[in-house]
Amino acid sequence: MSCHKSYITTPIYYVNDVAHIGHAYTTIIADTLARYSRLIGEDTFFLTGTDEHGQKIEEAAKKRGKETQAYADEISKTFKDLWDDFDISYDKFIRTTDADHKLGVQKAFTAMHKKGDIYKDTYSGHYCISCETFFPETQLVDDEFCPDCGKSTSIVEEESYFFKLSAYEDKLLAWYENNPDCILPKSKRNEVIRFVEGGLNDLSITRTSFDWGVKLPADFNDPKHVMYVWLDALMNYVTALGYGTDDANMDNWPARVHLIGKDILRFHAIYWPAFLMSLDLPLPKHIGAHGWWTRNGEKMSKSKGNVVDPKEVADAYGLENFRYFMLREVPFGGDGDFSQRALMDRINSDLGNDLGNLLNRLIGMSGKYFEGRVECDLVSKYYQAELDEMETSLVKLEPMISELQLHRFLEELWRPLTVANRAIDKYQPWTMIKEGKTEETMALNGLIATILAKVSLMLHAVMPATTTTVCNALGFEITPQTFQNILKDGGILAPFVTEKREPLFPRIEAELLVDARLEALKKEQEEADAKKEAEKKAKKEAKKAGNASTGLASTDGVALIGIDQFFATSLKVGTVVKAEEVPKSKKLLLLQVDVGEAETRQVVAGIKEWYSAEEMLNTQVCVVANLKPAKLMGMLSQGMLLAAKDENGLCMVRPEKAKTNGTPIG
């Protein structure tokens, strides 16, 4: 048995909001790898935690009227509670507000500075608060919006310390070159290489525009600076091992794998190795970037408000079924759309029919023919072909795990189950027993038990409790020793006696989550589908009409809509009861609009170039009242104002005479 060190990490999650299934996905992959690595006897250390500094967190706390640390405590706890509830086998839960983490980050800053990699300068640039990142003007969308998240950026000019990232270009390229699997899936490595080849700017690594962060070391005597949140956050992977304080667990470094989502690959595959080189620390062996979970094709994210609560799903469908589903459903690195249908299908088909039913068949047949006894010593005498087929699959599994191809791993792991189920249909034990072929029948049961045992051992890291139940029914415990013995050393299962039991995976007939929020999401999906369908139809009809009369496609390229679609938009008269400027924004005003029935809507409107806040106050406007709420510069916008814009500028569309607030327009 090896005693390799295996250090596995998740990203540390921002505490600006609670977890959704995207976070659960990363953590479940990491947990699976950690459990597998323990089972094969590796000395494993599994880290997760929360990322608590930065402007985004400060603002989230402010918005809720909470003191920042108290707010961070509260949300960090919800992550920890969720992982505990999910039985995530982490060895340490780090928080970037931990005192020793902060010390470690300061030590790193000093070390990089000593190395000559940090210098002071001023920075002027477009800053996206949501991504906590500066973007060069050339990368902005429409000169203003963040190329990553689409939100409005603001111009920030500040004095800053810089990290000489540009000095590491060649070394980074050499690292990617010499380590073909440093970034997984391998296709992602090319993206990173292309990015670095495009040239790296030095990185601004301190901020003066806010306070909520790790201060510079005291001897810099520069108290207005706090560390850039990504420097602070990435360092967690080593401060968690004691870097900069007691070094207690630094023998675990370098990490075997940093698991992340593809949204934060650049930080992990470029900045982080450069920081480590500057600190003279070895580089991680792998960075594994998975894809996104989406809803209706849109990335699930806290800021979009389209998230699925992992606890609700796990409570309804079973935690381990959910784990299996997430890992099996999407190829590592690809995106996946969450649907209860797909989850139910996996449970009923893969788990219920293929796995659960196989155990039931074994219990049924051994009970009926042998009073529950199962013996495996004669399996190879009668079913060598089936054993060979099983082995062909089993030997393929380990490389798939190393490459993080967990969906392929599970797919391959299911083949032996098919071999077993097929063998029952082919050899028909009910006929064999009648023909007096007792030994062959016992051996067939032995084959099923052997396959169930090996599959369960390999599946253990994905479904720990379920596989424990299966193996207990087969008369043994799952331990690193039984794993080695049964899977690697060809050990034969000791005779055991089966007992009747409830099915492992009761069939699910209908979607189980009827909770209001998910229902709303479902409805939204149906509406989106219906809208798409209507648009398609309208386009087709427009085309037909256009073709008939003029031979052209449609009217001015504008899609025609039916009256129903027009009336689906709720337009109302409202009065602006409060108007203010949005700080740092050239375009936005923040308005409170009375839309009748005692309802005030917050609307973030891009009209500041044409209207001042005073001009808007106490005027009537036309509001699109049933738009999905959106966030602009971090502020909720619950509607849109009608306006007309031509080359001379923009003017509001207003009722000609004063109307009661809430009066429908149409």
Q: Indicate the residue among 298 and 581 with the shorter CB distance to ligand ME8.
A: 298
Q: Give the span between the Cα atoms of 492 and 374, in whole angstroms.
A: 12
CB of residue 497 to ligand ME8, shortest distance in Å: 45
Residue 464 as a binder of ligand ME8 (CB under 6 A): the answer is no
CB of residue 204 to ligand ME8, shortest distance in Å: 17
Q: Give the span between the Cα atoms of 287 and 600, in whole angstroms.
A: 47
Q: For ligand ME8, which residue of 7, 8, 13, 53 counts as binding (CB under 6 A)?
A: 13
CB of residue 132 to ligand ME8, shortest distance in Å: 9
CB 151 within 8 A of CB 145: yes
Residue 574 as a binder of ligand ME8 (CB under 6 A): the answer is no
Residue 205 as a binder of ligand ME8 (CB under 6 A): the answer is no
Instruction: Provide the token pair at 576.
Output: 């602006």
CB of residue 54 to ligand ME8, shortest distance in Å: 9
The CA-atom distances, in angstroms, between 406 and each of 30, 397, 434 are: 11, 9, 43
Residue 93 as a binder of ligand ME8 (CB under 6 A): the answer is no
Residue 300 as a binder of ligand ME8 (CB under 6 A): the answer is yes
CB of residue 297 to ligand ME8, shortest distance in Å: 12
CB 592 within 8 A of CB 577: yes
Residue nearest to ligand ME8 (CB): 22
Q: For ligand ME8, which residue of 80, 92, 285, 299 counts as binding (CB under 6 A)?
A: 299
CB 72 within 8 A of CB 58: no
Instruction: Provide the token pair at 256.
Output: 């075997």
Q: For ligand ME8, which residue of 104, 213, 261, 288 counts as binding (CB under 6 A)?
A: 261
Under rule CB under 6 A, which residues in 276-295 are in contact with ligand ME8? 292-293
CB 23 within 8 A of CB 80: no
Q: Give the span between the Cα atoms of 82 and 79, in whole angstroms.
A: 5
Residue 301 as a binder of ligand ME8 (CB under 6 A): the answer is yes
CB 25 within 8 A of CB 293: yes
Under rule CB under 6 A, which residues in 528-567 are in contact with ligand ME8? none
Residue 7 as a binder of ligand ME8 (CB under 6 A): the answer is no
CB of residue 236 to ligand ME8, shortest distance in Å: 6
Number of residues that bind ligand ME8 (CB under 6 A): 21
Residue 332 as a binder of ligand ME8 (CB under 6 A): the answer is no
Residue 521 as a binder of ligand ME8 (CB under 6 A): the answer is no
Interacting span for ligand ME8 (CB under 6 A) from 9-17, 276-284, 352-360, 468-476: 9-17
Q: Is 86 helix (H, G, I), strand (E, B) or coil?
A: coil
Residue 233 as a binder of ligand ME8 (CB under 6 A): the answer is yes
Largest CA distance in the chain: 97
CB 586 within 8 A of CB 619: no
Q: Is the dihedral of CA 376, 380, 381, 382 positive or negative?
A: positive
Q: Residue 104's closest CA among 270, 288, 253, 4?
A: 253
Residue 240 as a binder of ligand ME8 (CB under 6 A): the answer is no
CB of residue 532 to ligand ME8, shortest distance in Å: 22
Residue 263 as a binder of ligand ME8 (CB under 6 A): the answer is yes
Instruction: Provide the token pair at 52.
Output: 């608590």
Residue 421 as a binder of ligand ME8 (CB under 6 A): the answer is no
Q: Binding site annotation covers 146?
A: yes
Residue 12 as a binder of ligand ME8 (CB under 6 A): the answer is yes
Query: Residue 619 carries which DSSP code?
Result: -
Residue 22 as a binder of ligand ME8 (CB under 6 A): the answer is yes
- Alpha helix ranges (H) inside 396-515: 397-402, 406-427, 429-434, 438-459, 464-473, 480-482
Q: Indicate the residue among 26 and 661 with the shorter CB distance to ligand ME8.
A: 26
Residue 460 as a binder of ligand ME8 (CB under 6 A): the answer is no
Q: Indicate the residue among 313 and 448 with the shorter CB distance to ligand ME8.
A: 313
Interacting span for ligand ME8 (CB under 6 A) from 216-224, 228-236, 366-374, 618-626: 228-236
Rounded to the nearest 10°, the torsion over CA 57, 60, 63, 66 is: -60
Residue with tokens 């589908």: 529
CB of residue 104 to ligand ME8, shortest distance in Å: 13
CB 631 within 8 A of CB 591: no
CB 233 within 8 A of CB 10: no
Q: Is 166 helix (H, G, I), strand (E, B) or coil?
A: helix
Sorted by sequence, the CB contacts under 8 Å of residue 140 that are 6+ apart come out as: 126, 146, 147, 153
Q: Which string of DSSP letters, residue by residue, matches 189-234? A: HHHHHHHHHT----EE-EESS---SPBPPGGG--TT-EE-HHHHHH
Q: For ligand ME8, which residue of 7, 8, 11, 227 counts as binding (CB under 6 A)?
A: 11
Q: Binding site annotation covers 128?
A: yes
CB of residue 25 to ligand ME8, shortest distance in Å: 5
Q: Indicate the residue among 56 and 113 with the shorter CB distance to ligand ME8.
A: 56
Instruction: Provide the token pair at 336.
Output: 């996946």
Q: Give the span between the Cα atoms of 620 and 577, in whole angstroms.
A: 9
Q: For ligand ME8, which residue of 6, 7, 8, 14 counts as binding (CB under 6 A)?
A: 14
Residue 405 as a binder of ligand ME8 (CB under 6 A): the answer is no
Q: Indicate the residue among 292 and 322 with the shorter CB distance to ligand ME8.
A: 292
Instruction: Provide the token pair at 390.
Output: 């099983």
CB of residue 248 to ligand ME8, shortest distance in Å: 21
CB of residue 540 to ligand ME8, shortest distance in Å: 34
The beta strand positions in 278-405, using DSSP E, are 286-290, 293-295, 298-299, 336-337, 373-374
Q: Indicate the residue among 304 and 415 with the shorter CB distance to ligand ME8.
A: 304
Residue 51 as a binder of ligand ME8 (CB under 6 A): the answer is yes
Q: Give the span between the Cα atoms of 431 and 429, in whole angstroms.
A: 5
Residue 234 as a binder of ligand ME8 (CB under 6 A): the answer is yes
Residue 227 as a binder of ligand ME8 (CB under 6 A): the answer is no
Residue 312 as a binder of ligand ME8 (CB under 6 A): the answer is no
Q: For ligand ME8, which residue of 26, 44, 405, 445 counts as binding (CB under 6 A)?
A: 26
Beta bridge partners of 155: 126
Phi, psi of 429 (to 5 degrees): -55, -35
CB of residue 9 to ligand ME8, shortest distance in Å: 8
Residue with tokens 């880290």: 47
Instruction: Provide the token pair at 159.
Output: 């004095």
Q: Indicate the residue among 51 and 440 with the shorter CB distance to ligand ME8.
A: 51
Q: Indicate the residue among 10 and 638 with the shorter CB distance to ligand ME8.
A: 10
Q: Is the bond preceding residue 185 a cis peptide, omega within 30 degrees?
A: yes
Query: Residue 90 carries which DSSP code?
Result: -
CB of residue 493 to ligand ME8, shortest distance in Å: 39
Instruction: Provide the token pair at 42.
Output: 């590796």
CB of residue 266 to ligand ME8, shortest distance in Å: 11
Beta bridge partners of 227: 206
Q: Indicate the residue among 264 and 486 with the shorter CB distance to ligand ME8.
A: 264
Residue 106 as a binder of ligand ME8 (CB under 6 A): the answer is no
Under the rule (CB under 6 A), what is the footprint of ligand ME8? 11-14, 22-23, 25-26, 51, 233-234, 236, 260-261, 263-264, 292-293, 299-301
Q: Residues marked as binding for Zn(2+)?
A: 128, 131, 146, 149
